[in-house]
């Protein structure tokens, strides 16, 4: 197995009482990659995580983490993995220092001075050193989430699995957590599940989308956002668009045009098969049309939410 591959599955499947929770998952995740793990409730995300950590056994297929078999070597895999639950809970009478000392008993042996040094380093990473001896019961939701990440990262894991790490946080708290994920990517591979698609779009390298136990998409985020399999130019104009619409529709490199007229403006979406020809000619053709003014023009940039809904609809109705 390549040392650059952290997770690999081969037909990984799980069935509960005749119901397929995960169907033939084939996925490869590289080192130092942030993967956004998406899907509606019941899509199979939690089942996948449990299978990777050896908490349940696959019905068929298999997989490896760090080159270790997810069934035979699950204890060793868990030693090298950090996990954050969606709603981390703590002994709130403790301080972060006390809490991480408690957690350290599961991972470390040796001089307490070295363990305390690692605890301080972990709290520095999540910007909680100023609260190191403050009772957790007074923490905000964002501070508790950051403490949860410090706990997951305490033993310097090669893989971090985070369940909704920015859920229930305000915009500032979400921003801090996303910045933290970017920093931790330097040291770990990060697989995190979330329903906040904007966060995935901002921080992920790769996106995996599950639906009804099946992997419906897995690709680099920029590739997924760049065209959604199509090349579309968007444009906003003012004035009579009739002649320009007819002329552009006749071009052999134009496959379809959608327009929406509102408040004296016309919004265009123009699908093309020849991107270079469109870039060279499309705007010029509209500008030279009598009585028509262009106020906006460019390639359409898809939003992840738009792609996510489209993929699930294709699966539902296709």
Q: Are residues 281 and 174 in the same domain?
A: no
Q: 303: pLDDT confidence band, cut at 50, 70 and 90?
A: confident
Inside any domain, residue 307: no
The set of long-range contacts for 62-70, using a CB threshold of 8 Å and a minimum separation of 24, is 62/9, 62/10, 62/11, 62/12, 63/7, 63/8, 63/9, 63/10, 63/12, 63/25, 64/1, 64/7, 64/8, 64/9, 65/6, 65/7, 65/159, 66/6, 66/158, 66/159, 67/1, 67/5
Inside any domain, residue 295: yes
- At 149-168, the pLDDT tens digits run 999 999 999 999 998 887 76
- At 215-269, the pLDDT tens digits run 999 999 887 876 555 688 889 999 999 899 999 999 999 999 999 998 889 999 8
Inside any domain, residue 158: yes
Tokens of 261: 């007229």
What average pLDDT does the segment 273-278 reach?
Answer: 88
- At 97-119, the pLDDT tens digits run 999 999 998 888 778 889 999 99
pLDDT of residue 317: 45
Q: Are residues 129 and 241 in the same domain?
A: no
Asked if pLDDT for residue 300 goes beyond 90, the answer is no
Q: Are the C-beta atoms of 67 and 237 separated by less than 8 Å?
A: no
Q: Are residues 86 and 26 in the same domain?
A: yes
List the 19-30 sheet strands across, edge first. Answer: 19-30, 5-16, 60-65, 68-69
pLDDT of residue 42: 86
Q: Are the C-beta atoms of 177 and 146 separated by less than 8 Å?
A: yes
Pairing of strands 265-272, 231-239: antiparallel
Asked if pLDDT for residue 84 goes beyond 70, the answer is yes
pLDDT of residue 175: 84
Q: Are residues 126 and 266 in the same domain?
A: no
Asked if pLDDT for residue 318 goes beyond 70, the answer is no
Q: 126: pLDDT confidence band, cut at 50, 70 and 90?
A: confident
Q: Are residues 34 and 163 in the same domain?
A: yes
Q: Are residues 99 and 236 in the same domain?
A: no
Q: Are residues 240 and 215 in the same domain?
A: no
Question: How many structural domains comprise the chain?
Answer: 2
- Residues present in the chain in total: 318
CATH classification at residue 277 = 3.30.70.260
- Supply the mean pLDDT for the chain: 89
Where in the sequence is the domain holding 196, given as residue range(s)? 5-225
- At 195-222, the pLDDT tens digits run 888 888 889 999 999 999 999 999 998 8
pLDDT of residue 225: 77
Q: Are residues 185 and 245 in the same domain?
A: no
Global pTM? 0.76
């Amino acid at each position: 197995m390549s040392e650059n591959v952290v997770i690999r599955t081969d037909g990984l499947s799980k069935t509960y009482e005749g119901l397929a929770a995960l169907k033939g998952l084939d996925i490869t995740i590289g080192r130092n990659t942030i993967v956004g793990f998406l899907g509606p409730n019941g899509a199979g995300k939690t089942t996948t995580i449990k299978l990777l950590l050896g908490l349940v056994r696959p019905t068929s297929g298999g997989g490896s983490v760090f080159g270790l078999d997810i069934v035979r070597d699950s204890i060793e895999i868990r030693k090298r993995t950090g996990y954050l639950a969606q709603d981390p809970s703590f002994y709130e009478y403790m301080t972060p220092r006390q809490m991480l000392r408690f957690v350290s008993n599961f991972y470390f042996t040796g001089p307490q001075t070295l363990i305390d040094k690692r605890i301080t380093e972990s709290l520095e990473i999540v910007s909680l050193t100023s609260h190191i001896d403050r009772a957790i019961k007074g923490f905000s939701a964002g501070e508790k989430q950051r403490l949860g990440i410090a706990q997951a990262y305490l033993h310097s894991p090669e893989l971090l699995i985070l369940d909704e790490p920015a859920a229930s946080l305000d915009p500032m708290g979400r921003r801090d957590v996303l910045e933290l994920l970017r920093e931790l990517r330097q040291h770990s591979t990060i697989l995190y599940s979330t329903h906040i698609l904007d966060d995935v779009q901002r921080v992920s390298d790769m996106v995996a989308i599950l639906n009804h136990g099946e992997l419906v998409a897995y690709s680099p985020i920029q590739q997924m956002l760049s065209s959604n399999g199509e090349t579309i130019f968007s444009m906003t104009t003012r004035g009579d668009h009739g002649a320009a619409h007819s002329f552009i529709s006749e071009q052999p490199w134009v496959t379809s045009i959608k327009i929406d007229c509102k408040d004296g403006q016309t919004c265009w979406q123009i699908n093309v098969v020849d991107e270079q020809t469109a870039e060279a000619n499309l705007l010029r053709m509209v500008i030279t049309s009598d009585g028509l003014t262009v106020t906006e023009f460019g390639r359409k940039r898809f939003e992840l939410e738009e792609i996510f809904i489209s993929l699930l609809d294709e699966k539902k109705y296709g």
